[in-house]
Amino acid sequence: MTQPSVQVPVHHGVDRARFESEIVPAGRPAVLKGLVKPWPAVREAAISPGALATYLSRFDNGGPVRAFFGASDMKGRFSYSDDLTGFNHDQRQTTLRDVVAQVLDGRDRPDAGHIYAGGVPLPKVLPGLAESHPMPLLDPARERLTSLWIGNRSRTAAHWDLAQNLACVVAGRRRFTLFPPDQIGNLYVGPIDMTLAGQPISLVDIVEPDFERHPKYRSALAVAEVADLEPGDALYLPSLWWHHVESLDNFGAMINLWWRDGPEYLTTPMLTMLHALLTIRDLPPGERQQWRAFFDHYIFQTGDDPVGHLPPDARGILGSMTGAVRARIKAILLQSLQRQDRSGDH
């Protein structure tokens, strides 16, 4: 077996109440069949790619976008160079209008290469488009990021995203191959500080896996799920699920809606991992394991309330996360990093 056999569950007629009470709490991917079929962009795309291009041009303010360009012989797989010191494609700043024109121009040319622009922020580049495409499953007051993906046949390496995501297919067929977050050790993740588009990616070619080079991928494949989407369908992606994305046609478009639950002050835990590289990773194994108990106690709170025995006024930075507490924690971290710099990293 080289491809997943388990399909992501498909749901029909999902409304906001069911989404909030059933889909999201399950913490698993879900296909929402036909959810955005009424969207104007989906209707225009059903007429022709040119019709969608014309529709999008009404909103396009000419703002800059980052686009990815690959040669025709790369099979649409955007990844690293063989030595992992660069990429197998070019990235450059251009305009959405130019990307769309190149994709349309190369639709019937086998030598046209692979092109896409991803993460195009609608408010900055296509103002008004998001308002024309309401999402009935989300509270209108919820802060979110809405972005566009548009291009031709391509494959985005398996990666995770911090935010939850509703990936809404506007044009072209799309296939997602999904892995639970705990499969990180079986996906052969590349560098975390040199990435294609922000998040670390798997080095495994999901379509043509090399099991001799990546033998542990068999374990990931055993628990993988696949979602095949058509225009008008949406996929709910929980935070941190690994997903490999294939655009299967010579013209495709997708609108993503991203949001996070939790307090507004939260930033990415990736910063905690970076700090842990300085403070925990290279400790002796026994000591490193002992620190896990402290994290389980104070951070993951696997037992009783870690400060339940302390009066509220005596909880210090372990108390409620007020503005003053946040400032105190940042000051402690900043002082420790500056002290380490002054000591010459010893």
- Give the start-to-end residue ranges of the domains of the chain: 6-259, 270-342
- The answer on pLDDT for 346 being more than 80 is no
Q: In the structure, what pLDDT confidence band is assigned to residue 344 with cuts at 50, 70 and 90?
A: low
- The answer on pLDDT for 342 being more than 80 is no
The 10 Å Cβ neighbour count of residue 23 is 19
By C-alpha distance, which of 37, 55, 2 is closest to 209?
2
Residue 304: predicted pLDDT: 92
Q: How far apart are CA 120 and CA 146, in angstroms?
A: 8
Over residues 231-266, the pLDDT tens digits come to: 999 999 999 999 999 999 999 999 999 999 888 888
> For 179-215, what is the HEC assignment?
ECHHHHHHCCECCCCCCCCCCCEECCCCCCCCCCCCC
Over residues 41-73, the pLDDT tens digits come to: 999 999 999 999 999 999 999 999 999 999 999
What is the pTM assigned to this prediction? Answer: 0.93
Over residues 28-40, the pLDDT tens digits come to: 999 999 999 999 9
- The answer on pLDDT for 343 being more than 70 is no
Q: Supply the CATH classification number for the domain 6-259.
A: 2.60.120.650
The whole-number average pLDDT for the span 165-179 is 98
Three-state DSSP class for 240? coil
DSSP state of 5: -
- The answer on pLDDT for 1 being more than 80 is no
Q: Averaging pLDDT over each range in 19-33, 69-83, 131-145, which range is the top one?
A: 19-33
The 10 Å Cβ neighbour count of residue 19 is 20
